[in-house]
Chain A
């Protein structure tokens, strides 16, 4: 993509005390995409988002939004951003409408009509004049989305937006996000610890673990096949000895996985049998992105 990225993170690090929470993160987010930020709990997603929106200081490096530095030109940079950081916390003693009015007053050019439009988009017309303390989590989430898109930001940042939503709520959220990206050209940066969720809504995912960027990949249809890896699986009587004999491979659930073509498979089969190892089954297995993600992150995710 040769378009200017909406967000440019340049060697971003965050240290708190002696602990490095984000380590030299460099990432460009291209415009118009739903961009996923995937990582297990504690990987540093929220910390990265806090730095992106200026809530936390950046220890080293810089983040630019539409070319403006979030540290040096905060007001310009942030005017392009709408966000929900962690839970959508609102003023509970105000009505939903008063909450929106509060944020509308803080951005230039948000009319009463725009407020009404956004309320309709998130489907809160019926309850908008009730106090937020009477709202369910799903309704607060919608109000959160509403405040984030009021000023038509170029970039929408959502931190684990599906946390606590029921499947219906998740589906609705996915459909607004698609609509925003496709109809308004909003770039959406969304974090999650669940790959299955990312696969459903994102064009690209960046994978982060222990504060380091470990992978960026596209999830477009035409690339889906490329993202899958094919491996040859041998079910044998003694996988450890088999691996020693062949000198490569990976043992999973007492199967031996090898990255080989079919001729090599035949040759290896012969060697195993000649060495007295029983071969019960040979199969080609396809490893999805999910398997790879779990492998990359050591399967240590919670949730």
Chain B
């Protein structure tokens, strides 16, 4: 019945008509600008290539990951806290379709914030380092653009997994606070976890989310620790993502709405 894209349009309206969302974009732009200036001043008279400058800023993509987790945390839980879920679910759309529209709007948001981040860091870097200096990071035989795009892809996958995890927690606990908290926990403890439970010593650790999230470890055909491969990590990540979506769907579909 009706046109599914109108549901997505509604979800978009609920994301982009909130001031919070524009604050997120504003913070990203400001931080990118701030760190570029900081690096420029810190670098003194020596100048680096614009590609190196972009890569220097890429750590700020964590902000985009945090913001994506926040939006994901609210997209289902918010309706319960606001009580609007009661009006949303009494329309001629099954719960599955309502949830799917939220998922799609979330994915669109993660793409948008990623594009905004990389456009901002590229534009600012090119503006600050217009001199055509040779890159210190990239050898002549790799195209910096291709390298950067590959890097974006790895980082985006990481962001998406965190956002979908947050989405699931949001649907299960109907609390955006818990969803944001747990996603941040995963985001920031991933590195420590991988150090503590190295798959070489603990074979089971190979199957955890943490050690598979960073696909850049396989860059250029490298083999990962304990014989892990790109294909293996992709399979593990996909399994987790499907599990997150399945749990979100089952809970959302079955739950009695008494908010």
Residues of A whose CB lies within 8 Å of any CB of B are 16, 50, 53-57, 74-76, 78-79, 81, 83-87, 89-94, 98, 101-103, 105-108, 147
Contact = CB atoms under 8 A, between A and B. Distances in A.
B82 A89 contact: yes
A81 B91 CA distance: 8
A92 B82 contact: yes
A90 B84 CA distance: 6
Given A55-B256, A105-B9, A98 B87 contact: no
Contacts, number: 82
A277 B214 CA distance: 96
B90 interface: yes
Given A90-B84, A106-B6, A106-B7, A56 B256 contact: yes
B9 to A, nearest CB: 6
B93 interface: yes
B121 to A, nearest CB: 30
B10 interface: yes
Interface in B206-259: 254, 256-258
Nearest to A83: B90
B200 interface: no
Given A90-B84, A106-B91, 9 more contacts: A56-B256, A56-B257, A75-B94, A85-B87, A91-B14, A98-B13, A105-B9, A106-B6, A107-B91
Given A50-B258, A105-B9, A106-B7, A147 B87 contact: yes
Interface string B62-94: 000000000000000000001110110111111
Interface residues of B, number: 26
Nearest to B83: A89
A55 B80 CA distance: 12
B17 interface: yes
Given A87-B83, A89-B84, A106-B6, A94 B92 contact: no
A66 to B, nearest CB: 13
Contacts of B203: none
Interface in B1-56: 1-2, 6-7, 9-10, 13-14, 17-19
Contacts of A101: 13
A105 B256 contact: no
Nearest to A90: B84
A105 B82 contact: no
* A53, A75, A105, A147 interface centre (most CB from chain B within 10 Å): A105
